[in-house]
Amino acid sequence: MKQILYTISLLLLLGACTDETYTDTLSANGGKRGKSVPVNLSLNVQPLQSPLDADTKAGSQTVSSTEVCKGMEISLVKTPETRAADMDEVKNFWVFQFDGTEPVSTLSKADFYSGNSVKTVTLALSSGEKNRIIVIANADLETFNSLLTDGSCSLEYFNNMGINFSQPDFPLFSLSDGSSRPVLSGSTDIIVKENTQADIMLYRSTAKVTVNLKLGDKMQDKGYSVWNYQFASIPKTSFYHAIGRTPAFPGDAVEYGKYALGDISFSASSSYAATITANLPVNLHHGVPFTTPEKRVTNAPFNSTYLQIMGIEPTTGGTISKSVVYQIHLGSNFTDDYSVSPNYAYTYNITITGENDDDSRVIKFIPGYFGGKLQGYDQYGNSSSATRTTVTWRYVNRIEVYISDVGSGNGVWLADGKSMPSANSLMDGKKNTTDLFDKKADYPAIQKCIDLNGVGVTSANLEWYTPSFGQSLGIYISGSSTLKTLHNATYWTSSTDATDVWATKIWTGRSKGESPSGLYYLRCVKDLLPGNTAK
């Protein structure tokens, strides 16, 4: 594997000699400054790596593993090794020296160099103690100008610096001319002596993902005419120096977000194929043993990065008549690895072949049997009206949850100046909704779900309705593979005690009566009857 080599002769002006004995002991404080000594620094740029161990020639692809399950065929393939000038060229670089290798070590020198070669730099001497030398390439002069060498900038502080999620072209470094480029970084721990050789390998601080997506023959006839994709659970900081980190990283130190929703254009002219690409910040997680491909979503660590692919069938009124959601958690395999590592290129070939409720990657938003009337069943699964033969009780219909939140974020349950209705059912959301149908304008959380049914809907034929308290708990209890698509927030139900309205925090199941003037989220549900079951 070829590597681009930049050899840079650096004259390091280093600190005063001391009588201390030479030692390799790691230290948080190196020593006093003194005379300058010449040091040679060689920078190597490591090409993007594949999570596969197989070695391939440039331009070829070796399938490492193919996991076929009902509804989805996924292959992780060797990423062809290519050279893109904007990825490999070092435009400039910073050289930082810390007076030790521990988190409390402080910055003793920081210098910026335009271009990719210099003859001399000045650094502080490490008098027999190892110092950490860090190189950050492809930032700009202003990026680190505020860092001081007065002992106030620790190595720990420096390691927490990064590009913010709000920046254009995140996680790449955005330039004033509107372009962007990847940040590269590397480091070494050395004791600087005359003619010391310092070799630093530079790695990209981000990962690149390519998804070659195809819609199978059977799915082309399912009626899903609109397809979207979204990368989710993205750390909101892309760290400048992300090399050498260990799971879980960044963990709870940062917030997580989603990339903007993107369109997928499937058509006969494109053979129902499309390609998705993205740059992602580092997100490392411990492995999850005994995870099967079918349960990969269910077993995913909290805040692990995933790709969500959504197919919907819209109505003429602009609402959604049916939907399907696929989640693909990224990593180096389809089982226990969930890490997005720096300097890695992940290439997936995915064919959507069908729908499968048993596969946690194929999400129909169907929590279980929580709709219709309560019915007894005998040992053979047949409905039973005789108490002596009834062995279990459950509601007759499964419910499907609408693919997205309804309305623009938080909303009230009761319109301003209107009166609360009488206490109603804790379990039957459809009855609660139909009972309030004629006064739906008084109850925005009820009206929004009714409006999903389109023009001409009546209380007798509506499908989408506001879930009851019991049904919202069902979504929480049964929805381990779907909860990550819902906000970690409180959602309205249709159940009320005539004063407050029951609401559920969907990630935790915490439920209590809330003021109807509060601002909460809303998801609607429908019963899966023979006529409207997702196909």
- Between CA 523 and CA 533, with CA 528 as vertex, the angle to 5 degrees is 115
φ/ψ of 482, rounded to 5, equals: -115, -15
Which residues does 189 contact at the CB level (< 8 Å), separation at least 6?
26, 101, 130, 131, 132, 133
**Tens-level pLDDT at each residue, the chain (535 residues):** 444 444 444 433 333 322 222 222 333 333 344 456 666 777 788 888 887 644 433 334 444 445 445 566 777 776 655 555 444 578 889 999 898 899 999 998 888 888 776 655 667 777 788 999 999 999 999 999 999 988 899 999 999 999 999 999 999 999 888 889 999 999 999 887 767 777 889 999 999 999 999 998 888 888 888 898 999 899 999 999 999 899 999 999 999 988 988 999 988 888 889 999 999 999 999 999 988 877 787 788 889 999 988 888 776 666 666 777 788 889 988 888 999 999 999 998 888 887 765 555 554 444 344 444 444 545 555 655 555 554 454 444 566 777 777 876 689 999 999 999 999 988 889 999 999 999 999 999 999 999 888 778 899 988 889 988 887 876 665 554 455 556 678 889 999 999 999 998 877 767 788 999 999 999 888 877 654 443 3
| Amino acid making up residue 71 | G
CATH pick for 62-78+206-363 out of 3.30.70, 1.10.760, 1.10.3470, 2.60.40: 2.60.40
Helix boundaries (H) for 35-180: 85-88, 155-159
> Residue 298 in contact with residue 357, Cβ under 8 Å?
no
Whole-structure pTM value: 0.69
| Amino acid making up residue 330 | L
Cα–Cα distance for residue pair 120/112, rounded to 1 Å: 12
Residues of the chain with CATH 2.60.40.2580: 36-47+86-204
According to CATH, what is the number of the domain 36-47+86-204? 2.60.40.2580
